């Protein structure tokens, strides 16, 4: 028999599992404070074996056990899950959605409840290693609940509070952005191999270069343009490479990828 828990996570895909691993790994909650549920029992069994969390077979059972409930299923099944668990939720609990493109207004309508506190978050996969960024929209949640959820989520990354009207843009940038960075790391490594480096060394150099550059921006607070100019000596190697990026419309392509991801999030919000 599972005792009362702090957190239920419904949906143990990549993001649900990343949140559980990150929260437990960082010590924000102990494993016994978390109960998980997924239609694929093999996923929950694997996470139970790995992390020591509890699992149940029914979403409603997970809800009844917990103070906070995270829905981390795919956007196209959020409605069915919300309608399934609605009778089990009380106004003392807090429902948190991770689904891209699913508005709080839609969730409120599916719940048929006006008072239940709702939060929408957009984490990203680096949360798995405690290096994520999580945008939180909590327009109708009291300060005490906001403090609790922020403390829990901050264990897996930087928590920023935004208006829900900005969530689609957040989804396009930090939600989808890690995939764009992975492609850049791969491209840097490919370039290194093309220039004569062994693959393992090229990838190591690419990874550390991206990590170091991001850390430099964060720690110095300088504009990326200023840091770029500090590297690019007149007539040197870096300016030659930058000129090649400009010829390939690198900036426009990256910005366009963010805009396309944000547009898709808005499309999902409108049922597209």
pLDDT-derived band at 1 (thresholds 50, 70, 90) equals very low
What's the confidence (pLDDT) of residue 245? 96
| Least confident among 3-7, 10-14, 99-103, 194-198 | 3-7
CB atoms within 10 A of CB 39: 14
Which phi and psi angles does 100 have, rounded to 5°?
-70, 135
Q: What is the pTM of this model?
A: 0.86
- Between 231 and 267, the higher pLDDT residue: 231
Q: Quote helix, strand, coil % in the chain, to nearest 5.
A: 60, 15, 25
Residue 108 included in any domain: yes
- 169 found inside a domain: no
> Does residue 157 form part of some domain?
yes
Number of domains in the chain: 2
- Answer for the pair 14, 38: CB distance below 8 angstroms, yes or no: no
Residues 20-34, mean pLDDT to the nearest whole number: 89
Clarify whether residues 115 and 206 are in a common domain: no
Is 191 contained in some domain?
yes
The per-residue pLDDT for range 140-189, each reduced to its tens digit, is 888 888 888 888 888 889 999 999 999 999 999 999 999 999 999 999 99
Does any domain span residue 219? Answer: yes
Last residue of a domain, one of 130, 163, 196: 163
- Residue 133 DSSP code: E
CATH number at residue 217: 1.10.3730.10
Domain carrying residue 24: 5-163
pLDDT of residue 3: 61
Q: What is the pLDDT of residue 100?
A: 83
Is residue 168 assigned to a domain?
Answer: no
195 against 154, higher pLDDT: 195
Q: Residue 95 maps to which CATH number?
A: 3.40.50.720
| 200: in domain | yes
Domain limit, last residue, from 135, 163, 191: 163
CB 91 within 8 A of CB 63: no
Q: Are residues 149 and 185 in the same domain?
A: no
Same domain, 181 and 106: no
- 260 and 135 both lie in a single domain: no
Q: Say if residue 152 is in the same domain as residue 191.
A: no
The number of helix segments (H) and strand segments (E) in the chain equals: 12, 8
* 146 and 191 both lie in a single domain: no
- Residues 157 and 190 placed together within one structural domain of the fold: no
> Are residue 24 and residue 119 in the same domain, yes or no?
yes
The burial of 77, by beta-carbon neighbours within 10 Å (0-12 exposed, 13-18 middle, 19 or more buried), is given as: middle
Q: Quick one: 150 and 182 in the same domain?
A: no
Asked if residue 197 is part of any domain, the answer here is yes
């Amino acid at each position: 028999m599972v005792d009362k828990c702090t957190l239920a996570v419904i949906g143990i895909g990549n993001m649900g599992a990343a949140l559980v691993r990150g929260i437990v790994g960082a010590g924000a909650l102990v494993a016994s404070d978390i109960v998980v549920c997924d239609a694929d029992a093999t996923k929950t069994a694997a996470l139970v074996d790995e992390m020591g969390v509890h699992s149940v077979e029914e979403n409603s059972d997970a809800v009844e056990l917990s103070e906070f409930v995270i829905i981390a299923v795919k956007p196209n099944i959020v409605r069915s899950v919300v309608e399934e668990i609605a009778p089990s939720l009380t106004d003392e609990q807090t429902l948190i959605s991770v689904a891209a493109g699913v508005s709080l207004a839609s969730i409120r309508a599916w719940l048929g409840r006006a008072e239940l506190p709702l939060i929408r978050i957009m984490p990203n996969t680096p949360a798995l290693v405690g290096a994520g960024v999580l945008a939180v929209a909590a327009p109708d949640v009291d300060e005490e609940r906001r403090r609790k959820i922020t403390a829990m989520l901050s264990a897996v990354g930087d928590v920023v509070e935004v208006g829900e009207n900005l969530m689609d843009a957040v989804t396009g940038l930090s939600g989808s952005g890690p995939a764009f960075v992975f492609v850049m790391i791969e491209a840097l490594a490919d370039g290194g191999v093309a220039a004569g480096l062994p693959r393992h060394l090229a990838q190591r150099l690419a990874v550390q270069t991206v990590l170091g550059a991001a850390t430099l921006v964060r720690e110095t607070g300088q504009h990326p343009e200023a840091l770029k100019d500090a590297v690019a000596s007149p007539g040197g190697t870096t300016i030659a490479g930058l000129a090649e990026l400009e010829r390939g419309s690198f900036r426009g392509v990256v910005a366009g990828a963010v805009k396309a991801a944000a547009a898709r999030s808005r499309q999902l919000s409108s049922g597209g």
